[in-house]
Amino acid sequence: MKNELTSRSSSEALRMLTAPLSPEQFFRDHYEKRYFHSQRVKPEICDLLSIDRIDEIIADSELPAKAINMAKSGRGIPHSEFTFANGAVDRGAVLDGFRDGATIILPQLHFADGKLYDFCLSLQRVFGARTQTNIYMTPPGEHGFGIHYDDHDVFVLQVAGAKDWEIYGDRETLPYRGEGFRSGHDDPGELKDRFVLETGQCLYVPRGTAHRALTHGDRPSLHITVGILVQTWADFMLEAVAEASLRIPEMRSSLPRDLYFDEGNRADHAATFKRLAQAIADTASFDATLSAFSGNFVRSQGGRVRGGLNALCEPIGADDRFTVREHILYSFEESGDDGGEGRQIVLPGASLPLSDALATQLQERIAAGSVAKSDFTVEDSEELDDVIGSLVAYGLLRRA
């Protein structure tokens, strides 16, 4: 996978979260292993969001019911308590609930806030995973959730106020996605550490590490939780099995009718299972599976198209220069899904077919960081016009 995100921009975003640790120290000693409380105060954290911005969102933004949640003392508050009968958010009820001690939660706010979205995009390259933000605004002396662990790794960025944090035990194994903490069933382990997360500080908590946070002092707390939504080797191997099965005809046969009921044929069925497992091992392609995963990762990133409409309001001239937008992933791939030949560029939300001549030149120009139609020597000018326009529309290129 090739993308325009420079090592400097991605490492800067990570260093903001992990300093004084270097990225190498963080990945070696903490990632997916143990929590890390960075006590260094980083003003950049407070630049990402503010209480005034939350006030503006609640007061003036479009708020579908799923755009806001509330919780108090470890329990979620039903949407019916802060929405109207038609499902619209009752903004006054949200603020009144906050006054009464409830935490305001804005899930996936990065989709509605450009600064948070750019920050998430800058982290996706270094983690090789999608990232998201959830925002928590908690009144003094309150907490939204009880002791629990998450099924994904998180960075907690304390934007305003402070939180009293408690860190408990770890699971023996990392949880799968969806394998969340079950209150009253799962053991959080013994209390291991207690500390205050101050304004401008950051905390990393691996998935499976139980924790709880309560607002510290007499000021409300505002923090950003950045979730790292990794894919696992189990996900990769399942895709490899599916990909290999396309070339193993016997995998398409139905299960034996007596599989569940006839113990007498158990040995024969077990032998079939082992034979097919070996066939998968012999047939599975790492390269094909990697191509599918990387392409899906790029497509699912989500576009960043600010400025694109203005750029497309006028015809794009031969010497109009465009730069490659920061933090947008892309990849050049062979496009042989239908048995044909050719190449394509994969973008968030789209795959654009390319002739070989254009693909080679486009890959070079994008790697160089800027593009103008006059840079290319191609016979099909209509293809060039269409591709450059589409790259602007889908956000890879922005007017210089």
Same domain, 316 and 270: no
Question: CA 247: distance to chain centroid?
Answer: 32
One-character DSSP codes across 129-168: SEEEEEEEEE-TT--S--SB--SSEEEEEEEESEEEEEEE
User: CA angle at residue 107 from 104 to 110, to 5 degrees?
Assistant: 120
Supply the DSSP symbol for 316.
P
Residue 93 belongs to a domain = yes
Same domain, 328 and 343: yes
Per-residue pLDDT tens for 334-360?
875 544 457 999 998 889 999 999 999
What's the CA gap between 289 and 244, in Å, rounded? Answer: 9
Same domain, 151 and 271: no
Same domain, 216 and 240: no
Strands 75-76 and 69-72: antiparallel
What is the domain extent for residue 197?
Answer: 7-229
Same domain, 139 and 179: yes
Residue 239 backbone phi and psi in degrees, to 5: -65, -35
Same domain, 65 and 113: yes
Same domain, 163 and 14: yes
What's the CA gap between 312 and 314, in Å, rounded? Answer: 5
Same domain, 73 and 153: yes
Same domain, 168 and 38: yes
At 336 the pLDDT is 57
Same domain, 215 and 119: yes
What's the CA gap between 211 and 185, in Å, rounded? Answer: 16
What's the CA gap between 324 and 367, in Å, rounded? Answer: 9
Residue 115 belongs to a domain = yes
At 339 the pLDDT is 44
Burial (CB count <10 Å: 0-12, 13-18, 19+), residue 218? exposed
Residue 1 belongs to a domain = no
**H/E run at residue 55:** helix 51-60
CA-wise closest residue to 293 among 238, 354, 251: 238
Same domain, 101 and 194: yes
| Residues of the chain scoring pLDDT < 70 | 1-9, 336-341
Question: CA 45: distance to chain centroid?
Answer: 19
Residue 123: CATH number of its domain: 2.60.120.650
Residue 226 backbone phi and psi in degrees, to 5: -95, 115
